Amino acid sequence: MTSTRPALALAGPVLAGLALLAACSGPTASRDDDPATQAPTAGELRVAVISHGTAGDAFWNVVKNGATAAGEQLGVAVDYHSDGDPARQATLVDNAVSQRVGGIVVSLANPDALKTSVQNAVRAGIPVITINSGSGRSAEFGALAHVGQEEDVAGEQAGRRLREAGRGKLLCVIHEAGNIGLDQRCDGARTGFGGTATTLQVDINNPTDVEARIKGALQTDTSVDAVLALNPQVAVSAVNAVKGASSRAAVATFDLNGDVTDAIKAGDVLFAVDQQQYEQGYLPIVMLKLHHDNANTVGGGRPVLTGPGFVDRSNVDRVAEYAERGTR
């Protein structure tokens, strides 16, 4: 079973059109010649996007591309910042508050570390939208909405697909300590898999060690026949580890890049869970623009889901071109 969504290159103009439609259509449509009915504006909107992505992590480059594209299309000034250290990421939020930006988009991988800063932004009257991990804490902190995927649900579906592929023992590789979303993925995978599942902690900043640790785990327990990576760079290391250990384990992963789409084509990766992170950059800018210009909210208190979709050999050729251009 495979599912994907339409290319965001097409979605961009469509969403921009929806924003325009919201202000210009319907039974009380405003008229250009009647100033009293025109939607109010409050000057230029500047949004700070603050992620926990580390330098060189291609995943977050796609998020940045989405936010930048939406800003260009909607006339929103977008400033992108990132820091993998939770305390320093919180400081970036504090800096955005002190600069009185018109909106903040922040990834919530480590909710407890971000709690005070996000709540201070909300108290200062700055609308905040959380993205990626941490959907369960977003409303508690006062955020306007959350954009991402339910990590436990995505993990459960990934585990189920591996079980349906005939696998019986799973190794789930966690590449960032303390990231609540990664723990949820592995917990969900364990539920969906239904067989024996263990986790392995690695450090994404040390690719050589990542490969060595996965290889060592496969050599220590030769009954492991499935490896679930939670990051495309780790997936590449996992493929090399499987080959190095002469293991029969199948590799699956979360998220895409060009290396992963090539590996799917080659049969080295069974499938990738695609949370379509371009949308996690793009949609919050649209949502903040609508809130700024028209007091709109989106989601009704529930997360706006961007995944999971699945990419495998049945659809990889189409998706690969978007991964190459940095929008998938």
Whether 200 and 251 map to the same domain: the answer is yes
Q: Is residue 162 part of a domain?
A: yes
Residue 39: the pLDDT is 37
Whether 63 and 159 map to the same domain: the answer is no
Domain count, the chain: 2
Residue 18: the pLDDT is 42
Residue 205: the pLDDT is 86
Q: Is residue 8 part of a domain?
A: no
Whether 102 and 189 map to the same domain: the answer is no
Element (H, E) at 65: helix 58-74
CA dist 248 and 116 (Å) reads: 47
Q: Is residue 20 part of a domain?
A: no
Decide: 117 and 107 in contact? Cβ < 8 Å: no
pLDDT of residue 27 exceeding 80, the answer is no
Q: Is residue 304 part of a domain?
A: no
CA dist 136 and 44 (Å) reads: 31
The pTM is what? Answer: 0.79
Decide: 107 and 84 in contact? Cβ < 8 Å: no
Per-residue pLDDT tens digits for 134-170: 999 999 999 999 999 999 999 999 999 999 999 999 9
Whether 138 and 170 map to the same domain: the answer is no
User: What tokens were used for 120?
Assistant: 């201070």
User: What tokens were used for 117?
Assistant: 């800063």
Place of tokens 């789930």: 172
Q: Is residue 27 part of a domain?
A: no
pLDDT of residue 248 exceeding 70, the answer is yes
Whether 225 and 88 map to the same domain: the answer is no
Per-residue pLDDT tens digits for 60-70: 999 999 999 99
Residue 13: the pLDDT is 43
Whether 163 and 227 map to the same domain: the answer is yes
Residue 31: the pLDDT is 37
- Mean per-residue pLDDT of the chain: 88
Whether 181 and 130 map to the same domain: the answer is no
Q: Is residue 61 part of a domain?
A: yes
pLDDT of residue 19 exceeding 70, the answer is no
* 3-state class (DSSP) for residue 328: coil
Whether 281 and 139 map to the same domain: the answer is yes
Q: Is residue 81 part of a domain?
A: yes
Decide: 272 and 311 in contact? Cβ < 8 Å: yes
Whether 242 and 253 map to the same domain: the answer is yes
33 Cβ contact list (under 8 Å, min separation 6)? none
Whether 123 and 166 map to the same domain: the answer is no
Q: What CATH number is associated with residue 224?
A: 3.40.50.2300
Q: How confident is the model at residue 43 (pLDDT cuts 50, 70, 90)?
A: low
Whether 143 and 283 map to the same domain: the answer is yes
Whether 286 and 244 map to the same domain: the answer is no
pLDDT average, residue stretch 106-130: 97
Q: How confident is the model at residue 178 (pLDDT cuts 50, 70, 90)?
A: confident
Q: Is residue 221 part of a domain?
A: yes
* 3-state class (DSSP) for residue 163: helix
Full domain range(s) for residue 290: 46-149+277-297
pLDDT of residue 40 exceeding 50, the answer is no
